[in-house]
Amino acid sequence: MSCNSNVHSAISPSHIAIRGGTVVNADHQFRADVLCRDGRIVAVGEQIEVPAGAAIIDAGGQYVMPGGIDPHTHMQLPFMGTVTADDFYSGTAAALAGGTTSIIDFVIPAPQQSLLEAFHIWRGWAEKSAADYSFHVAVTWWSDSVAAEMETLVRQHGVNSFKHFMAYKNAIMADDSVLISSFARALELGAMPTVHAENGELVHLLQQQLLAQGMRAPAAHPLSRPPQVEAEAAGRAIAIANVLQTPLYIVHVSCAESLAAIARARAAGQRVYGEVLAGHLLIDDSVYANPDFAGAAAHVMSPPFRPAEHQQALWKGLRSGDLHTTATDHCTFCAGQKAMGRSDFTKIPNGCGGVEERMSVIWDAGVGSGWLTPSEFVAITSANAARIFNIYPRKGSVSVGADADLVVWDPLASRTLSAATQHSLGDFNVFEGRTVQGLPSHTISRGKLVFERGELRAERGAGRYVRRPPFAPQKQILQAPGKHDKQGSKQK
């Protein structure tokens, strides 16, 4: 379980050649060798010249894919009275072991705290990262100074996405007035508004009602956050984005109702993007019926795990293109921390792990079953996140000039997932006992071989902060092009 047990320093010859594999990008796959030099991909093709002294990886029978991007993690997060078990080193080391080479984490300023102050605190914590990292910044309150700091973050600090928690009342919840001000500001700055969609007022009310009825165990957690509570918030955020003509990215879409709202908005021409968590795709709400407090509490996260029919809807959303990215919301708390809510489920720190398992569980259930193609897998595990957050093709692509963040994927390798063998410092694995087929044999991060057939060589501090440039300023266009006269009324 310890992250340090098999960590050695990364092998770093200046060149690495990956030979004999099938390169998989989001648009196509092809037979090619890949040469990396000084952290970049410098050649992709057949029979490339390999310089003397280069390290050579034999990828015969394997896929060579962009390293995963997990666009939703919380390392070292102070939350609900405690701090997550994984810091930026252990969490990114676990990510590398699973084939994920970049994370986008969250700076979450307390209400009234300066966004820039919080940003610099998180940047300091993240210096120990073993993999590349970037930050969404949460807008938890509003004032002119917040609007000004958003601009500084975009223009000077490479932040192009702002997060809004529509839940967590009396803590970090953003009400409609904050959402509207912040979405409008994001549009001016060329940044992407994102939301955690749950109606925090309804959650709070339902929690109080459940507690008043004596329902204090983890089984009450999903009852306090039913799908309608998520769908209402998703629909509201979509409506606000529609009026303001901003794009919108909805994190951890967990239920069919929210997905339907996204599909409707997209069909009506809105730029709405949906993220789904590996856990929501594969774990159902039966976990909350566990009479053992620790087992049930370990699954307390928000939104909660849902009845199985929602999982089917989410898999369909990934294939239809109404869901775009897969993430983990990696936010680990150990049993002692979860015990803070032993007599009151609302005090259980919300969050689960998964950063190490995401790629393999989605490959196994998605590609292994035939539901997704390898290229679709690349789209939903790296390329789409890179596009949506404006770092493509530097990330999310096996192409000349891209960062040498690669995973050599062995489709035949299998293992049984367990907390006993994970690299995360969490003491629980939500995928415990699941046997997956399809695993990374090698992970290359910035041109360094950091994981090789079970041996992790993550290097503390080797990860770099990834700046994400703003999108081009968008005109506020309230009407679609078409046959209109000058007054804007439809021609007969």
Binding site for ligand URP (CB under 6 A): 74, 196, 301-302, 329, 331, 350-351
The secondary structure of residue 490, as a DSSP letter, is B
Piece of 192-200, 276-284, 380-388, 396-404 that binds Zn ion (CB under 5 A): 192-200
Per the CB < 8 A criterion, the answer to whether 160 and 474 are in contact is no
| 299 touches, from Zn ion, ligand URP, none (C-beta below 5 to 8 Å by class) | none
Structure tokens at 159: 């932040």
| 65 touches, from Zn ion, ligand URP, none (C-beta below 5 to 8 Å by class) | none
Which C-beta is closer to ligand URP: that of 29 or that of 258? Answer: 258
Query: Residue 196 Cβ, how far from ligand URP at the closest point, in Å?
Result: 5
Compute CA distances 358 → 188, 273, 345, whole Å: 34, 19, 27
Structure tokens at 151: 């601009």
Q: 108-135: string of b/e by CB count within 10 Å (b at 16+)?
A: bbeeeeebbebbeebeebbebbbbbbbb
Q: Is 344 helix (H, G, I), strand (E, B) or coil?
A: coil
Structure tokens at 404: 């040498």
Query: Residue 20 Cβ, how far from ligand URP at the closest point, in Å?
Result: 41
Q: Of 279, 276, 261, 280, whose CA–CA distance to 429 is shortest?
A: 279
Which C-beta is closer to Zn ion: that of 164 or that of 196? Answer: 196
Structure tokens at 193: 């508004």
Measured CA to CA, the distance from residue 159 to residue 403 in angstroms comes to: 19
Measured CA to CA, the distance from residue 2 to residue 120 in angstroms comes to: 29
Which C-beta is closer to ligand URP: that of 230 or that of 410? Answer: 230
Query: Residue 301 Cβ, how far from ligand URP at the closest point, in Å?
Result: 4
- 304-343 positions binding Zn ion, by CB under 5 A: 329
Cis peptide before 111 (omega within 30 of 0): no
Per the CB < 8 A criterion, the answer to whether 131 and 463 are in contact is yes
C-alpha 448, offset from chain centre = 23
Which H/E stretch holds residue 124? helix 115-125
305, amino acid identity = F
User: Position of tokens 């804007």?
Assistant: 488
Query: Dihedrals φ, ψ of 105, to 5°?
Result: -100, -175
Q: Give how many residues touch Zn ion by CB under 5 A.
A: 2
Query: Residue 139 Cβ, how far from ligand URP at the closest point, in Å?
Result: 15
- In DSSP terms, which residues pair with 136 in a beta bridge? 106
**Cβ-proximal residue to Zn ion, closest one:** 196
Contacts of 118 (CB under 8 A, 6+ apart): 107, 108, 109, 110, 137
| 301 touches, from Zn ion, ligand URP, none (C-beta below 5 to 8 Å by class) | ligand URP
Query: Residue 110 Cβ, how far from ligand URP at the closest point, in Å?
Result: 14
Structure tokens at 196: 């955690």
Piece of 27-35, 182-190, 195-203, 341-349 that binds Zn ion (CB under 5 A): 195-203
| 463 touches, from ligand URP, Zn ion, none (C-beta below 5 to 8 Å by class) | none
| 351 touches, from Zn ion, ligand URP, none (C-beta below 5 to 8 Å by class) | ligand URP
Q: Is 432 helix (H, G, I), strand (E, B) or coil?
A: coil
Query: Residue 259 Cβ, how far from ligand URP at the closest point, in Å?
Result: 18
Which C-beta is closer to ligand URP: that of 147 or that of 171? Answer: 171
Which C-beta is closer to ligand URP: that of 161 or that of 443? Answer: 161
Query: Residue 323 Cβ, how far from ligand URP at the closest point, in Å?
Result: 17
| 350 touches, from Zn ion, ligand URP, none (C-beta below 5 to 8 Å by class) | ligand URP
Which C-beta is closer to ligand URP: that of 301 or that of 386? Answer: 301
One residue of 15, 136, 163, 196 binding Zn ion per CB under 5 A: 196
Per the CB < 8 A criterion, the answer to whether 442 and 367 are in contact is no
Query: Residue 350 Cβ, how far from ligand URP at the closest point, in Å?
Result: 3
Query: Residue 54 Cβ, how far from ligand URP at the closest point, in Å?
Result: 42
Q: Is 265 helix (H, G, I), strand (E, B) or coil?
A: helix
| 16 touches, from Zn ion, ligand URP, none (C-beta below 5 to 8 Å by class) | none
Query: Residue 165 Cβ, how far from ligand URP at the closest point, in Å?
Result: 7
Which C-beta is closer to ligand URP: that of 51 or that of 111? Answer: 111
User: Position of tokens 């049984």?
Assistant: 416
**Cβ-proximal residue to ligand URP, closest one:** 350
Which C-beta is closer to ligand URP: that of 196 or that of 324? Answer: 196
Burial category of 147 from C-beta neighbours within 10 Å (exposed 0-12, middle 13-18, buried 19 and up):
middle
> How many residues belong to the chain?
492
Query: Residue 119 Cβ, how far from ligand URP at the closest point, in Å?
Result: 18
Which C-beta is closer to ligand URP: that of 299 or that of 423? Answer: 299
Which C-beta is closer to ligand URP: that of 280 or that of 442? Answer: 280
Which C-beta is closer to ligand URP: that of 129 or that of 302? Answer: 302
Positions touching Zn ion (CB under 5 A) are 196, 329
